[in-house]
Amino acid sequence: MNSSSAAKAAIRAALHLLCWLPAAWLFYLAATDGLGANPAEALLRSLGDWALRFLCVALAVTPLRQWLHWPQLAAYRRMLGLYTFFYATLHWLAYVVFDMGLDWAGIVADLPKRPFILVGTLAWLVLLVLAVTSIPALVRRLGGRRWQKLHRAVYAVAALAVLHFLWMRAGKNHFGDVWLYGSILAALLLARVVWAVQRRRLRVAAR
């Protein structure tokens, strides 16, 4: 292994460690009664927060790669997207286990009653499709262009996630974090649109 490959492997290992730390810390707090008076709710909310944070970081990779002229960042986008799915899955499972006690009939009945649960579940299902189609064999089968088009659905996930968060916080009239995440994700979407327009203009000019 040459020095460049060793450096990439070290960066990837360090990034994996950093991505695992929030989950490890939360489960440590859960095991040591460090989540407060309502540990189930604290764990559920914290996992949702981390899913949103990882979504923001994953979506930030492309604009940062373009602005910093650092194409190597693209190698970590898939990893960060999968960790977004990982934390979103833990968040959804916390709802299924702690809120609903694995009562699947109750879960089906709960979805139309609480729209923020329905929207959050839709966001998770889209992430599930994106995670499954990130398997290298499926990427090759879909082809690069079709794969890229499919994975633009991550922006729909962002919109659904913010709506889920907004409706969830509406009951407590606490919107500070909603506007924060919403502004970050809107800025990242705008950056993606600006980049796409600029790239199209360059292609037209090059003809």
Per-residue pLDDT tens digits for 79-132 = 999 999 999 999 999 999 998 889 999 999 988 888 889 999 999 999 999 999
pLDDT at 76 (0 to 100): 85
Residue 20 maps to a domain: no
Domain count along the chain: 1
Which of 52, 47, 56, 50 lies closest to 163 in space, CA to CA?
A: 52
Distance CA 189, CA 195 (A): 10
Residue 27 maps to a domain: no
Which of 127, 16, 157 lies closest to 80 in space, CA to CA?
A: 16
Read off the tokens for 177.
């974090």
Read off the tokens for 197.
């327009």
Q: CB neighbours of 152 closer than 8 A, spacing ≥ 6?
A: none
Q: Are 120 and 92 in contact (CB under 8 A)?
A: yes
Residue 90 maps to a domain: yes
pTM above 0.85, yes or no: yes
**Does the structure show a pLDDT above 90 at 201?**
no
pLDDT at 7 (0 to 100): 73
State the residue range of the domain holding 91.
38-206
Least-confidence region, from 33-37, 132-136, 142-146: 142-146
pLDDT at 1 (0 to 100): 54
Of the pLDDT bands very low, low, confident and very high (cuts 50, 70, 90), residue 172 is low
Residue 15 maps to a domain: no
pLDDT at 189 (0 to 100): 82
Residue 161 maps to a domain: yes
The most confident of the ranges 34-38, 71-75, 85-89, 164-168 is 85-89
- Tokens 């929030």 -> residue: 22
**Between residues 178 and 96, the one the model is more confident about:** 96
Least-confidence region, from 35-44, 62-71, 148-157: 62-71
Segment 148-155 shows an average pLDDT of: 86
Residue 18 maps to a domain: no
Residue 9 maps to a domain: no
Q: Are 122 and 158 in contact (CB under 8 A)?
A: no
Residue 194 maps to a domain: yes
